[in-house]
Amino acid sequence: MADQPGIARGYIQPQIPDFNIIPPILFGLSDRERVEARIGQLEQKISAMMDYMRQQQPTLDTGNDLNVRRLNEFLVERQETETTIAQWTADQNNLDTGDGISFRVSTDATRSITGLLAGIDGQIKTFINVGSFEVEFPHQSGSSDAANRFLNATGATLLMDPEEQITFWYDITTARWREIERTGAIPSQKIWTFDSPTGSSGTFYFGGFYLFHSAALTPAGGTNVGTANSSYAAHALVVLGATSTDMVVRVTGTSITDGGTRATSATEDIDTSGGVSGAYFETTKKWIGLVSYTLLSGTGVTINAGFAKYWDNNNTIYDLAGLEATWVGGATDTAPNIELLHHKSTGWTYGAGGTPTTPTAIAAMATDHSTEDNVINGEPGAWKRDNLTTEIDGSSSEGIIWRVTTTANKTFELGNFVLRITH
């Protein structure tokens, strides 16, 4: 093990100075007087040594305390001894964990640790998230002192999901904490194949879809949305076109659960009270076939209606790490686009024509490639991103959808989408 501050030799074995006492003049003394003189010289040396030890006592105590602390950390704490920290109800700046290495933490909501009190070279701290909410470790956050901050390799915030743990090491050279180990974050990838229809161009979805009613509507006696017997297995949605004081919309139709249970004449009420224009709502139920939107109570306002289906990784929380798309062109298209959408309840804009504007894409090929975004007939193409950091809360009605836009028939002969995640 490399030398560590706090285990230096000088703390345990300090340098003892030479106590040079001026020898007595023994010439002309009797034997007894010579012995007494030597005894006096020895007493002076002993007294000087005791004075020195008393002066050094605080230093020795400090060194001993630090050594004991470090030994406890490495010999005791490393035997899986954990310290449980009281639940956090606010972000933690310049956090002082006290002694120890392993800490069980929980929060009342998503919270951030922006820094830890400056460590000593090579010090290790491990955090285990035993709560139900995410804990974040921002990169170089100004909310903590410089020497207490995290230096994250990606330059982005580290996310610690429930049941995950992260270990940090203090780098004295940069005076920052660095992540050196993470458990619970399992990398994986999801692959979709895609192509373009031969006889049409436009907008197509993969990994999920949006299907909007052909026109905006104001719920009243009942408006049918969708097509009879169509296997949507998707959530019914509402995007408000105006502020809703008290409108409650009832959705009626045939529902289907992820467990395969089908129920006819099912209903679910969407309470939009207090929502403003652009506010998004969706049912917890999924629907197949035609559904009806009815004003159950309150004053009706215009809405966009339709269905939303998205990839939520089996209703789990996951973090995006990267994406890759490869294809062969089936036609030359000078204005195609591939987008990765984050389905969530914020970022929507009502559309008077019936189609709302969805939340801004996480990434878009046309934005990244700019001028060189064309798909050429018969030629291969690719788009890749390795720096995604968005968290998708699949347990709370979030997910991703691929959206492909083309301006030529059969733009993509064939292709694959790869989404890389940790969870």
* One domain, residues 198 and 329: yes
Question: Is residue 379 domain-shared with residue 390, that is, in the same domain?
Answer: yes
Q: 297 with 314, same domain?
A: no
Question: Is 335 part of a structural domain of the chain?
Answer: yes
User: Do both 199 and 345 map to the same domain?
Assistant: yes
Q: Is residue 4 part of a domain?
A: no
| pLDDT over threshold 70, residue 24 | no
Q: Could you read off the pLDDT of 370-389 as tens digits, one per residue?
A: 999 999 999 999 999 999 98
349 in any annotated domain: yes
User: Average pLDDT, whole number, for the chain?
Assistant: 89
Q: Are residues 326 and 381 in the same domain?
A: yes
In a domain, 412, yes or no: yes
In this structure, is residue 3 part of a structural domain? no
Say if residue 368's pLDDT is above 70. Answer: yes
Given 248, 277, 307, the domain boundary residue is: 307
Is 194 in the same domain as 336? yes
Domain of 400, CATH number, reads: 2.60.120
Does residue 423 share a domain with residue 327? yes
Q: Residue 103 pLDDT > 50, yes or no?
A: yes
Give the whole-angstrom CA distance, residue 322 versus residue 141. Answer: 24
pLDDT tier for residue 10 given thresholds of 50, 70 and 90:
very low
Residues 316 and 412 in one domain: yes
pLDDT of residue 350: 99
| Pair 340, 412 in one domain | yes
CB within 8 Å of 32: residues ≥ 6 apart = none
The reply to whether 320 and 399 lie within a common domain is yes
Distance CA 2, CA 121 (A): 10
| Mean pLDDT for the stretch of residues 157-172 | 91
State the total domains in the chain. Answer: 4
In a domain, 1, yes or no: no
pLDDT of residue 19: 52
Instruction: Say whether pLDDT at 17 is over 80.
Output: no
Instruction: Answer whether residue 234 shows pLDDT above 80.
Output: yes
Question: For residue 311, which of 191, 141, 219 has the smallest C-alpha distance?
Answer: 191
Judge if 219 and 354 occupy the same domain.
Answer: no
Give the range of the structural domain holding residue 115, as residue numbers without chain letter: 80-183
Could you tell me if 158 and 422 are in contact, meaning their C-beta atoms sit under 8 angstroms apart?
A: no
Contact 85, 103 (CB under 8 A): yes
**Final residue of a domain: which of 21, 45, 76?**
76
Cα–Cα distance, 350 to 212 (Å, whole number): 12
- pLDDT value at 169 more than 80: yes
Between the CA of residue 134 and those of 108, 138, 192, 263, 395, what are the distances in Å?
10, 13, 28, 35, 13
| pTM score | 0.66
Instruction: Express each pLDDT in 139-148 by its tens digit.
Output: 999 999 999 9
Angstrom CA distances, 136 to 96, 104, 132, 150, 259, stand at 17, 15, 13, 11, 33
pLDDT of 390 strictly over 50: yes
The region of weakest confidence among 33-47, 152-166, 193-207, 399-413 is: 33-47
With the CA atoms of 136, 142, 146 and 151 taken in that order, what torsion angle do they form, in degrees rounded to the nearest 10?
Answer: 40
Out of 116-130, 209-223, 253-267, 283-297, least confident range: 116-130
Long-range Cβ contacts of 47-55 (<8 Å, 24+ apart): 48/19, 48/21, 49/19, 52/16, 52/17, 52/19
Confidence of residue 1 (pLDDT cuts 50, 70, 90): very low
Among 57-61, 66-70, 186-190, 303-307, the least confident range:
66-70
Does the pLDDT of residue 186 top 90, yes or no?
no
Domain assignment present for 67? yes
Is 247 inside a domain boundary? yes
Q: 200 and 349, same structural domain?
A: yes
Q: Which of 76, 91, 108 is the last residue of a domain?
A: 76
Burial of 205 (0-12, 13-18, 19+ CB in 10 A): middle
Side-chain half-sphere exposure of 53, counting CA atoms within 13 A? 8
| Confidence (pLDDT) at 11 | 44
